[in-house]
Structure 1
Amino acid sequence: MSDPLIFDSWTGLGRILLAGTLAYGALVAMLRVSGKRTLSKMNAFDLIVTVALGSTLATVILNRSVPLAEGVLALALLICLQYAITWTSVRWPLAESIVKSEPTLLLHEGCFLDDAMRRQRVTQAEILAALRESGLDSPGAARSVVLETDGSLSVVSRTD
């Protein structure tokens, strides 16, 4: 017999509603307890943890073979590991250098830094867009443009 395409059972729907609500509630509670850093602007490491949390939550909700307690433990494990790594990276520069990238200067005193742009895979059009978003009309109006560790572009105008 094949798997049902549209509807399997009311029990399955009830399980999703109950497990989904409880797992989501547990995740929100754990994120609140773990602090603001868990929900901060994302660098690559934070993005990986966020995707893993989402994948784990979806598995708990949709996979009948994963009991709710095991799923909540998996969510707690991911949050605890992220907390431990960020705690370590705040205290030891070597750990921070492994987890986080450095900001990169892409434009300085109106001049594009082509080597840095190529290494970071950023185009002049992207830098010009960041300048416009900051209210500047030309590269010469900027003191610098920096690619931050979270992937955003920061613009420092000459008047700052």
Structure 2
Amino acid sequence: MRLGTITIEMIIGFFALFFLTKLLGKTQLSQLTPFDFISALILGELVGNAMYDPDVHIWMILFAISVWGVLMYSLEMLTQKSMTLRKVLEGSPSIIVRNGVIDRKQLKKNKLDINQLQDLIRQKGHFSMREIEYAILETNGSISVLPKSNVQPVTRKDLKLHEVEVTLPVTLILDGKIIHDNLKTAGVDEEWLRAQLLKRKINSAQDVLYAEWKKGHELLVMKEKD
């Protein structure tokens, strides 16, 4: 009976946390601040401890998640309206490298050493500090880099080339299944797609692992391997 109760509590806890994550928004994942990280740990502890404590009932788990979710959601709303509260809870970006010079005060303030800074810089594709003009430590712990002009990539504007239209690629087939909504986005129909596949001697979309459409380009088709 206890195993059955644990199973039910795990299922309920899973869907409750899933709903809460959806409610709080994608920034909980893409912009994880220290406060968000601590909140995630506490939520996990609430559910985990409750599942294995026989004195805790299902409604207590839901109540704990609900209260914590209301607190988190309220703080999210408050930080959107109050710059001061946002700065207190989420922090603010720090300029670690300014005009090519490392700011030691900012390093100490953010508990960051030179080796860690070099590691973050390398992750951005720069292996020498002499290439960096500005480096900003973001509130989620990542770093944004503005390289010096002599190492910045050349743009069409630099070469005085005409501007070209920028378009997003659209996935038409994924794992052998046609994505009909994306056909409308691309402005094509299923008949056109099947004709394109026949040109490549492919009789069925089920034989295609991935197909991508992009304006001005040929259809990209990757077949399933035998």
- Secondary structure at 1:143 match in 2: strand
Give the distance between the partners of 2:26 and 2:32, measured in 1 at CA: 12
Counterpart residue type for residue 96 of structure 1 = R
Rounded to whole Å, the distance in 2 between the matches of 1:130 and 1:34 is 28
TM-score, normalised by the number of residues in structure 1 = 0.85
User: Counterpart of 2:63 in structure 1: which amino acid?
Assistant: L
**1:153 CA displacement:** 2.0
Segments ≥4 residues shifted beyond 3 Å? 37-40
Give the letter aligned to residue 33 of structure 1.
L
Q: Is 1:52 aligned with 2:42?
A: yes
Count of residue pairs brought into register by the alignment: 150
Aligned equivalent of 2:212 = none
**TM-score, normalization by structure 2:** 0.62
List runs of 5+ in structure 2 lacking aligned partners. 154-226
- Aligned-residue CA RMSD in angstroms? 1.7
Q: Determine the C-alpha separation between the residues in 2 that align with 1:149 and 1:33.
A: 22
Task: Please state if 1:90 is matched with 2:70.
Answer: no
Q: How does 1:31-46 map to 2 (within 5 A)?
A: 31-46=21-36
Considering fraction of residues, name the structure with more strand.
Answer: 2
- Give the aligned residue type for 1:114: R
2:101 corresponds to 1:108: no
The residue aligned with 2:15 is 25
Work out whether 1:120 is the aligned partner of 2:110: yes
1 or 2 for the larger relative contact order (CA 8 Å, sep ≥6)? 1
Q: Deviations over 1:86-108 (max 9, x none)?
A: 10111111221221211111112
Letter in 1 for 2:86: E
Larger of the two Rg values belongs to structure = 2
What secondary structure does 2:91 align onto? coil
Query: Relative to structure 1, is the Cα distance of residues 31 and 131 closer, same or farther in structure 2, using a 3 angstrom cutoff?
Result: closer
Q: Are 1:129 and 2:88 counterparts?
A: no
Provide closer, same or farther for how the CA distance between residues 44 and 139 of structure 1 changes in structure 2, counting only shifts above 3 A.
same
Q: CA deviation at 1:134?
A: 1.7
Q: Distance in 2 between matches of 1:34 and 1:114?
A: 36
Give unpaired runs (5+ residues) of structure 1.
Answer: 1-10
1:72 shift after superposition: 0.8
**Equivalent position of 1:65 in the other structure:** 55
Equivalent in the alignment of 1:12: 2
Superposed CA deviations along residues 107-141 of structure 1, whole A, max 9, x for unmatched, are 12221111111221211111112222222221121
Per the alignment, residue 74 of structure 1 pairs with: 64
Q: Any idea what SS the aligned residue of 1:144 has?
A: strand
More helix by share: 1
Deviation at 1:41, TM superposition (A): 2.0
